[in-house]
C-alpha cells in the first residue's frame, strides 16, 4: 500500500485545504487541481516566465510608489526572478481547461511567490508572511494580468523564436534562388504544363512569401505590445495606482527587450481577445505559406523515376519498413503537419475570441495555449525544414530536359501567328507527340531564325513581347 502523501493545511477565502507539504502553491491552486482534472495540458514555460516578470515588475513599482514594504518587495522580486528563470515550473499544476479568466493560474503564481518569498524571509510555507493577494497581486487582477501575460509571452516568442527561424529560412531560399537561377524548367498552373519559368524564380517566390510573413508578424507584434495591465477587474483600474501600469510596462520593456505599452482603452483590452485573434491569424497565414513551400518542394522531388524528379531532396532516413531503398520527403511532411496543427490552433483561438462577454473574455487559457503552441510549432518546424531539407536540395536535369517538350511554348508564338493558330500547333503537338518547334516548322511560315528567337525558353522567363 502506497504511503500517504504528506500534506500541510493552507487557507484561502473559502477555508482550509490540504496541499502537498513540499509544494509552494497553496489552497486556491489545490482547489483548481481538484476541480480541473481535464487534459494534463499546462501553460508552457514561456508563459510562466513572462508571468514571473510581470510579478517582479509589479513588486518593484509598488515599492517605488510606497505601496509595498521594500523588504517584502525584494523577496517577491527574488522569487519572481526564480520563477522567470524556470526554477518553479513544476509548481504550475493547473490545467489549461480551467476558469476562463485564468484566475487559477494567476493565483498559482501568487501563492508560489508568496510562499517562497516568505521562506526567503525566514517564514514557513503557508504562514502568509507574504500575502498572495494583498502583496504579490497588489494593483493587479487576473482579468488584466492573464491577457497581459499571453500578449507578452507571444510577443517575446515571435521576436526570439519565430522571426529568427523565418529569417533563416528566407535567406536559405534566397540562396537557392541564386543557385538555381540559370535553370529553366516548365511552369505549372492547374497541375498542367505552363510557360517556362526559372527554378530560381520559383524559389524567389517562396522567399517572398516568407518575407511577407515576417512583415505580418511585425504587425501582429504591434497589437501584442499593447497590454491590459492597469485595468484590474473590469477596465476601470479600481484598486491600482494611476501610475502603476505605465511604470510596470516600462520595467517590462527593459526586462523583455521589446516595447511594452499600456493600452489607451482598457475596456476593449479586457473585454476582448482581438489582439490575440489577429496575431493568431498572422500565424495561420505563415502556416499556409510554409505549407505551400513544403508541398511544392516535395512534389518537385517526387519520384525519383515515376514522379517529377526536378529536385533531389536530402535523404535523411529510410522511408519504408517493407520497400528497401525507399526514401521519403519526411522533413517536408513534418512541416506540413505542423502547419495543419497551427491552422487548427487558429480555429480554436478564434473560438476563444468569441468567448468575450460584457467586460471579460472567458476563454483566455485556451487562447494562450493555442497561440503559444502555434508560435513554437512554426519556429521549430521552419528551422528543421531549413536545416534538414532546404539547404541540401539539389536541382536535377529533369526540369530543363522537359522544356523543349513543353506544349505551352506555343504561347510565345501567339504574337506572331495569332492565338488560334498557336492553339492548333499546340494541339497537333499533343496529338502527335512532337515538339512545338517541329509542328510550327511544318504548319507555319516562320523561319528557323524566327523560331529560334520566339522559342527561346530563357526569354520566356522575362517580361516582354517576342
Kindly list the catalytic residues. 190, 320
The CA-based dihedral angle spanning residues 419, 421, 426, 427, taken in that order and rounded to the nearest 10 degrees: 120
Burial track 422-440 (b if 16+ CB lie within 10 A, e otherwise): bebbbebbeeeebbbbbbb
Backbone angles phi, psi at 97, to 5 degrees: -85, 80
Give the cell for residue 448: 528557323
The sign of the torsion formed by the CA atoms of 217, 218, 223, 229 equals: positive
Give the cell for residue 310: 526536378
Q: How far apart are CA 169 and CA 289, in angstroms?
A: 12
3-state SS of the chain is CCCCCCEEEEEECCEEEEEECCCCCCHHHHHHHHHCCCCCCCCCHHHHHHHHHHHHHHHHHHHHCCCCCHHHHHHHHHHHHHHHCCCCHHHCCCCCCCCCCCHHHHHHHHHHHHHHHHHHCCCCCCCCCCCHHHHHCCCCCHHHHHHHHHHHHHHHHHHHHHHHHHHHHHHHHHHHHHHCCCCEEEEEECCEEEEEEEHHHHHHHHHHHHHHHHHHHHHHHHHHCEECCCCCCCCCCCCCCCCHHHHHHHHHHHHHCCCCEECCCHHHHHHCCHHHHHHHHHHHHHHHHHHHHHHHHHHHCCCCCCCCCCEECCCCCCCCCCCCCCCCCHHHHHHHHHHHHHHHHHHHHHHHHCCEECCEECCHHHHHHHHHHHHHHHHHHHHHHHHHCHHHCEECCHHHHHHCCCHHHHHHHHHHHCHHHHHHHHHHHHHHCCCHHHHHHHHCCCCHHHHHHHCCCCHHHCCCCC
CB 384 within 8 A of CB 331: yes
- Burial (Cβ within 10 Å: 0-12, 13-18, ≥19) of residue 288: middle
CB 49 within 8 A of CB 59: no
Amino acid at each position: 500500500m502506497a504511503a500517504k502523501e504528506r500534506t500541510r493545511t493552507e487557507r484561502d477565502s473559502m477555508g482550509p485545504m490540504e496541499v502537498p507539504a513540499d509544494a509552494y502553491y497553496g489552497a486556491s491552486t489545490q482547489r483548481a487541481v481538484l476541480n480541473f482534472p481535464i487534459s494534463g495540458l499546462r501553460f508552457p514555460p514561456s508563459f510562466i516566465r513572462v508571468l514571473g516578470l510581470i510579478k517582479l515588475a509589479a513588486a518593484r513599482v509598488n515599492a517605488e510608489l510606497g505601496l509595498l514594504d521594500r523588504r517584502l518587495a525584494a523577496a517577491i522580486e527574488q522569487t519572481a526572478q526564480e520563477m522567470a528563470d524556470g526554477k518553479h515550473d513544476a509548481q504550475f499544476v493547473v490545467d489549461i481547461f480551467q476558469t476562463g479568466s485564468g484566475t487559477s493560474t494567476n493565483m498559482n503564481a501568487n501563492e508560489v511567490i508568496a510562499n517562497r518569498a516568505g521562506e526567503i524571509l525566514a517564514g514557513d510555507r503557508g504562514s502568509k508572511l507574504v500575502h498572495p493577494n494583498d502583496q504579490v497581486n497588489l494593483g493587479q487582477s487576473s482579468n488584466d494580468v492573464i491577457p497581459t501575460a499571453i500578449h507578452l509571452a507571444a510577443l517575446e516568442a515571435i521576436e526570439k523564436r519565430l522571426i529568427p527561424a523565418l529569417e533563416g529560412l528566407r535567406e536559405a531560399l534566397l540562396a537557392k534562388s541564386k543557385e538555381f537561377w540559370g535553370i529553366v524548367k516548365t511552369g505549372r498552373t492547374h497541375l498542367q504544363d505552363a510557360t517556362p519559368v526559372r527554378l530560381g524564380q520559383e524559389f524567389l517566390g517562396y522567399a517572398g512569401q516568407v518575407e511577407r510573413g515576417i512583415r505580418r508578424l511585425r504587425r501582429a507584434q504591434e497589437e501584442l505590445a499593447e497590454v491590459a495591465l492597469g485595468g484590474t477587474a473590469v477596465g476601470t483600474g479600481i484598486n491600482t495606482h494611476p501610475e502603476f501600469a505605465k511604470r510596470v510596462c516600462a520595467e517590462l520593456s527593459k526586462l523583455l527587450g521589446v516595447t511594452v505599452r499600456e493600452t489607451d482603452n482598457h475596456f476593449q483590452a479586457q473585454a476582448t481577445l482581438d489582439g490575440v485573434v489577429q496575431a493568431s491569424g498572422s500565424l495561420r497565414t505563415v502556416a499556409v505559406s510554409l505549407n505551400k513551400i513544403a508541398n511544392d518542394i516535395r512534389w518537385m522531388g517526387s519520384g525519383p523515376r515515376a514522379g517529377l524528379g526536378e529536385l533531389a531532396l536530402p535523404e535523411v532516413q529510410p522511408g519504408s519498413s517493407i520497400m528497401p531503398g525507399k526514401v521519403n520527403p519526411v522533413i517536408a511532411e513534418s512541416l506540413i503537419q505542423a502547419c495543419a496543427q497551427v491552422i487548427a490552433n487558429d480555429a480554436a483561438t478564434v473560438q476563444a475570441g468569441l468567448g468575450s462577454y460584457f467586460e471579460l473574455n472567458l476563454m483566455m487559457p485556451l487562447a494562450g495555449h493555442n497561440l503559444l503552441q502555434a508560435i513554437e510549432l512554426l519556429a521549430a518546424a521552419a528551422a528543421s525544414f531549413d536545416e534538414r531539407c532546404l539547404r541540401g536540395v539539389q536541382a536535377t536535369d529533369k526540369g530543363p530536359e522537359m522544356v523543349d517538350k513543353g506544349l505551352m511554348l506555343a504561347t510565345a508564338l501567339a504574337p506572331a501567328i495569332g492565338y488560334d493558330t498557336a492553339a492548333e500547333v499546340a494541339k497537333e503537338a499533343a496529338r502527335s507527340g512532337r515538339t512545338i518547334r517541329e509542328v510550327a516548322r511544318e504548319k507555319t511560315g516562320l523561319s528557323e531564325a524566327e523560331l529560334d528567337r520566339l522559342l527561346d525558353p530563357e526569354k520566356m522567363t522575362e517580361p516582354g513581347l517576342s
